[in-house]
Chains A and B, each alone.
Chain A
Amino acid sequence: MSGISAEQVAHLASLARIDLTDDEIASLTTELDQIVASVAKVTEVATPEVPATSHPIPLENVFRDDVVGETLTVEQALAGAPDHDGSRFRVSAILGEEQ
């Protein structure tokens, strides 16, 4: 089941948007391999007839009336942003040159 490669970890890191260094990828590859080998134990008892549980307490959808509730002001929402123009969050280019 296991056998995680450095290439796989690098791919996972790009999916998770973390720019890992080569050293980080190397150590994570070893650690992940050990962890996954251990947690794969779940497959021993997870037989087809056992239903999955996603949530500890059974829940139903929760609805509310479609009315304006308490909301943050624009100033409050922008107060913690690394960059903004007074009414919107500001980010760098969405597309690179080759895109």
Chain B
Amino acid sequence: MSDDILRLSAAELGERLAAHEISSVEATQASLDRIAAVDGGVHAFLHVAADDAIAAAADVDSRRASGEKLGPLAGVPIAIKDVLVTEGMPTTAGSRILEGWIPPYDATTVRLVREAGMVPLGKTNMDEFAMGSSTEHSAFGATHNPWALDRIPGGSGGGSAAAVAAFEAPIALGSDTGGSIRQPAHVTGTVGVKPTYGAVSRYGAIAMASSLDQIGPVSRTVLDAALLHDIIGKHDHHDSTSLRDRWPSMAEAVRTADVDGLRIGVIRQLDGEGFQQGVLDSFHAALDLLEGAGAHIVEVNTPNFEYAISAYYLIMPAEASSNLAKFDSVRFGLRVTPEGGGTVEDVMSATRDAGFGSEVKRRIILGTYALSAGYYDAYYGSAQKVRTLVQRDFDAAFAHVDVLASPTAPTTAFKLGEKLSDPMAMYLNDIATIPANLAGVPGISLPAGLAAEDGLPVGIQFLAPARADARLYTVGAALEKLLEEQWGGRLLDQAPDLTQLIAAQEGAR
């Protein structure tokens, strides 16, 4: 029974809860039991709030029993990326400098999912301050890909993606600064959406790069992502960049999905050199299916995308170096006093040396360099101009097509440790996802298939113009349906048995 509950999508679980066939306490307990059984091998969670989750679930059950009208995901458990502050739950953003900190308030997105009756299970692992593509930069140890435990789950949101792929949680919240929702979805066979910049509040999201960060859904199906998007996509006066748009229902876009006549632009710069053959094969097979369903596939040129990754690795560290100045050993987190004492500055410097990991230090120093007098125009100034050029590429492309398509990342999940000592190789993982963050446009990654050479998941990415998030759900849902007809189920049904993988790993020790 509990196995069946775990395999349900969030939407299916919501329906069963509404029909009184399952209680939220049962569903939450099933997730907690699954976490207890497999998270020793996956390490998706940094904190599990078992008692609070059961209490929240019991509360939803009693409200439902009393006849209260509840939303479609009420009573559904949810995992929360540790970048979002949570009242009463520790929040570290994957960093020692915040170890043990319990925030006094909820991020807006956390408040909204609680108000929707969803049940927070705990906090998921991530690269420290969301800086990385593998979760190996978490101060608390890497997360393991549920498809192959010796491989990366993607990053920075590898914990949320792995939790969903490992059936520990039906759905999760993530954050995406350069691909941290979409790239983990790609390597774990799950769905991830980065909404239009400003569509979802960033209040209470521990900032890495404020002009790039965006919160979004992590799920196993396109409909689940849409239902969560509808919950969190609201204007928030606590976030001055929050948009005031009236959004159409993303769930409705899924339910009425039709790609007949849809114009899909294939980004030439992200379709060939540098991409694994199995990734390209799955990508093109997916496009063929869409074409068969009536979509028009054309090739588009985005010549400035070539410079996007360089611009990103100047703008992001510049913003991060300033955002992370708040970790000063005064108001929250770690304080390390040097031997023999010292001034507040000495304490601050000792604390930041002890509390930040190597990747965070690397990016702070890089950002400080990019912003320093004498280099500002050449680096930061030029990067901001490239941002304009990337936006112009998108504008030119969207004048001819409704959505853009590319593989989500160049390769399938690589081995843990493989790129850890080569920062530039790690940074190239984000080559297909970064342009969307620079331009603020929305993007989705959903499973496209398994790569022939290694049997690992491949994701396909769609991008839409700013504010046209609903189009992602239209094309995503249409493709998901076509693929699942072909596969005879979901891609995750083809994943190896996790309990056996963990047993084999323990046997090998």
Contact = CB atoms under 8 A, between A and B. Distances in A.
Chain B: number of interface residues, binned into ranges: 35 or more
B352 A44 contact: no
A95 interface: yes
B314 to A, nearest CB: 5
A52 B380 CA distance: 10
A68 interface: no
A19 B345 CA distance: 10
A9 B366 CA distance: 9
A31 interface: yes
A93 B341 CA distance: 9
B141 interface: no
A50 B388 contact: yes
Contacts of A57: 196-198, 241, 243, 440, 466
Nearest to A38: B424
Contacts of B369: 4, 8, 12, 32, 36
Most interface-central of B311, B353, B365 (chain A CB within 10 A): B365
A52 B307 contact: no
A67 interface: no
Interface string A20-40: 110010001001101110111
Contacts of B342: 92-93, 96
Contacts of A24: 353, 358, 361
B383 interface: yes
B298 interface: no
A17 B351 CA distance: 9
Contact of B387 (A38, A52, A82): A52
Contacts of B321: 16
Contacts of A51: 385, 388
A53 B330 CA distance: 34
A54 B331 CA distance: 29
Contacts of A16: 321, 352, 364-365, 368
A34 B330 CA distance: 34
Contact of A39 (B333, B348, B356, B379): B379
A72 B353 CA distance: 30
Interface residue SS majority, chain A: loop
A43 B382 contact: yes
Nearest to B428: A38
B243 A81 contact: no
Most interface-central of A12, A16, A83, A96 (chain B CB within 10 A): A16
A1 B314 CA distance: 15
Given A45-B304, A46-B386, A80 B313 contact: no
Nearest to B355: A18
Contact of B349 (A18, A41, A50): A18
B332 interface: yes
Contacts of B329: 82, 91
Contacts of B386: 42, 45-46
Most interface-central of B345, B423, B441 (chain A CB within 10 A): B345
B205 to A, nearest CB: 16
Contact of A76 (B104, B328, B352, B382): B104
Given A76-B104, A80-B101, A80-B103, A18 B352 contact: yes
21 contacts: A4-B369, A9-B365, A15-B368, A17-B348, A17-B349, A18-B353, A24-B353, A39-B311, A39-B383, A40-B379, A42-B314, A42-B385, A44-B307, A46-B382, A51-B385, A52-B381, A57-B196, A57-B243, A80-B101, A80-B102, A96-B343
Given A59-B240, A82-B330, A82-B333, 18 more contacts: A12-B365, A17-B328, A31-B423, A34-B423, A35-B362, A39-B313, A45-B389, A50-B388, A50-B389, A54-B384, A55-B440, A56-B438, A56-B441, A57-B466, A59-B241, A77-B104, A80-B103, A92-B344
Q: Which 3 pairs across A and B sit closest by C-beta, in order of nearness?
A: A56-B440, A46-B382, A82-B335
Interface of A: 1, 4, 8-9, 12-21, 24, 28, 31-32, 34-36, 38-47, 50-57, 59, 62, 64, 72, 76-77, 79-83, 89, 91-96
